[in-house]
Amino acid sequence: MAAGGLLFPQDWFRGHGSYYRLILYLRFWWVVLWEPGLRFSFFAICSIHESGGIMKIKSIEAVNVSIPQQKPVTPARRPSWRHSSPIGLPMNKYPEFPPDVPSKSPGIGGRGVWVKITAEDGTWGLGRTGFGEPVAALIDAFYAPLLEGRDCFATEHLNDMMWRASKRHGSLGLSACAQSAIDLALWDLKGKLLDQPVYRLLGGPSREKIRCYCTGDDLDWSIELGFEAFKITNPVHYEQGITGINIMEEKVALARETVGVNAELMINPVMAYDVEFAIRLGERLRPYELKWMEEPLFPEDLEGHIQLKKAMTWIPIATGEDHHTRIPFRQLVENRCVDVVQPDLHWCGGMTEAVKIHHIAEAAGIKSSPHGGCNSAYGQHFCYAMPECTLCEFHLSTPVGVPLEEVARMPGVPVPKDGYLVPSDAPGFGMDIAEDWITPWDHGRLSTGGEHVIL
């Protein structure tokens, strides 16, 4: 549009009523540039305006992000539970992968992969996922050539293109992880270009603050930090039979005694149960009034979920961190075999897909609680904006006694205080990452291990 258009409408100031139009014009730009919650970047608007309303993607690349870590000032009273608590996982079926060494179990998350998307004006956004080199290769070799040069604001269109392009090699698993990182980077970029926090682009806050529950076995420390809802780990596998049931009942009983009868309590099997074991254990756990049993079965076992839900009506079932894209969630909801959906924004397909998942569940009266939602900026903005996301996970794995602020991993991303959290209102996801912390991905490095993963 020429100078006489949106930015400089000279015709407004000619003839009858020009004074009032001038006042209206000045008020408009005051709101645009200065009003909290409605401000837009003047230069971004001008740039987008001059390009016909389209800001194109200049580059998409898998990258490493090395965040400088400061040593905590407060001494720890003891190490985190992660150094002592066994965790049941699917690979425990094989003796060489025991539950007391979960970090050695293949396929639990691997090396983190970041995606940097740069717009043609130089603005960039960041997204993140896991699983190392296989995902990084998909990003750089498959998705980047497909999306570069397209409109970076068209998140629905780009999400659909990735979803359709992946059909032959599969839209789930590693492909969904690659799509997640790209989609999250696009939302971060869009927020920066519009000078808005992502939660506002999603429709604005649905609550004053996010209520967090705490995952981890340091229950005394979780209580001291002000949490009032808790999820403990599962140390057993279904092949342990009655021995495993006894071990888990003892752990739940101790946890209930520790947190009290007025606190919410959940357990997290991480796909280590089968239907029979889950039902038998559920019967034992009736007296402890669990909020939910999380991800007891493999995500592909839809019939198992249906059978378990029909048989175990007294403990709600939550699942979804290892379900990818909206289709498996739709199947869970259609069959009424889940009570809480738990997409992981780093794995499910990203923010665009997670919003669809939330609305599928919302329409059926089912709540959402994203996996690790309050541990990342991505999940925080999702939880803040989505109306049926009333209890969100914070995974606590830091040393006991060290304040969360001293061990925060991501600059610019808040941590819970007294069990609640409010996301950053900085543009995009609010992550304060310096560009010189970002380096190109080394495709010669094939390792997929060596990084802490939220289970």
Catalytic residues: 371
> Number of helices and strands (H, E) in the chain?
14, 13
Q: Is 291 exposed, middle or buried (0-12, 13-18, 19+ CB in 10 A)?
A: buried
Radius of gyration of the chain (CA): 24
Beta carbons within 8 Å of 451's beta carbon, 6+ residues apart: 109, 110, 111, 112, 130
Phi, psi of 36 (to 5 degrees): -60, 135
Which stretches within 218-336 are classed as H helix? 219-224, 241-259, 275-284, 302-311, 326-334
Residue 142: count of CB within 10 angstroms of its CB: 16
Tokens of 407: 């061990």
Whether residue 323 contacts residue 332, with contact meaning beta carbons closer than 8 Å, is answered with yes
What distance in Å separates the CA atoms of residue 96 and residue 98, rounded to the nearest whole number? 6
- Spell out the residues 6+ positions from residue 145 whose beta carbon is closer than 8 angstroms to its own: none
Residues 184, 344: Cα–Cα separation, whole Å: 12
Q: How would you class 204 by CB atoms within 10 Å of its CB: exposed for 0-12, middle for 13-18, buried for 19 or more? A: exposed
Per-residue CA distances from 72 to 407, 409, 454 (Å): 6, 12, 21
